Every structure is written in structure tokens, then in C-alpha cells.
Amino acid sequence: MRALLFAIAVAVWTTAPTAPAVAEPPPPGFQVIVHRDNPLTSADRKLIADLFLKRRTTWPDHEGVRPVDLASESPVRQRFTTAVLGKTVPQVRSYWQQRIFTGRELPPLELASDQDVVKFVTNNRGAIAYVSSDAGIGEAKALQIKGP
């Protein structure tokens, strides 16, 4: 009887599904880009968030920062806003309404397409933006995003 129970247990154990392998997180669906002459090659999420929310307005080389957003209904903007800024697009819109009301800052320029964003970044040394992960970035440079 013990032998039979042991055989059943071994059969169940060897045919039981294994735990799934831990999958790599999916790519973020966007890439952060800067002008090709920008000295940075990587940046942590906090720095990128500070640049887009204009909490920081100059690059380490003292060049003025010119952040650019895609249109608020863009799925790429929604992914970027959640992943990097830690907010929703409506929350960011509210943040800018408060900043405008107090006379502090204006929100980043909004452009309609990845191509428009790449063109702007290519032509403006202080620019930072994001585009879809499969967008051609031409002469712009992709920043590696560090950190969680």
C-alpha cells in the first residue's frame, strides 16, 4: 500500500505544472530622447520627472531645459506619465493648472506626433522628450533610464 501511495505521489509530483519563470517586465513602450549634443547618456527617473515638471530648469552644463510632451490623449504619453512621473495625465494637468494660476511656469510644449517631437529635439539643444519605443529618432539621442 505504501509503495502504491509513493508511486502515485511521485507521478503527481513529476507531472504537476512547474511555477512559471519570472518574466522580464515588458518594455515601457517609450524612449526618452535628448539632443545629440546633450552630455548625458543616462538619467534616473527622478531627474527626468524634475525636468518635465520644471522643478529643474537647466542641464548639468547649464543649458536651459525644453521638455516636450505628446498630446494628452496619446497612449505613449499616458505610459510615460505613469512610469516616470508617477501620476496620471489628469493629475499632471492639474499640477500645471496650479502652476499657471500662481504665475510660476507654463507646461511643456505639446506636439502631435513622434516625428514632430524628434524634429523639435533635433533642432533644440536643451530639449528632452519621449516617443514610442519603436519610433525612429534620427539624430536625437536616447537616454537610458536608470532605477525602478
pLDDT tens across 14-71, in order? 444 444 444 445 556 999 999 999 999 999 999 999 999 999 999 988 999 999 999 9
Instruction: Tally the residues of the chain.
Output: 148
pLDDT over 80 (residue 148): no
pLDDT at 20: 44
pLDDT at 1: 55
Burial class (CB in 10 A: 0-12, 13-18, 19+), 52: buried
Q: For residue 73, name the pLDDT band (cuts at 50, 70, 90).
A: very high
> What does each C-alpha distance from 44 to 1, 39, 78, 93 come to in angstroms?
62, 15, 19, 23
The average confidence (pLDDT) of the chain is 86
Between 73 and 14, the more confident residue is 73
The model's pTM: 0.80
DSSP 52-121: HTTS--B-TTSPBPEEEEE-TT-HHHHHHIIIIISS-HHHHHHHHHHHHHTTS--PPEEESSHHHHHHHH
pLDDT over 50 (residue 8): no
Q: Which three cell numbers stand for residue 82?
A: 505613469
Q: Which of 116, 94, 96 has its CA nearest to residue 105?
A: 96
Please, what sign has the CA dihedral across residues 65, 122, 141, 80? positive
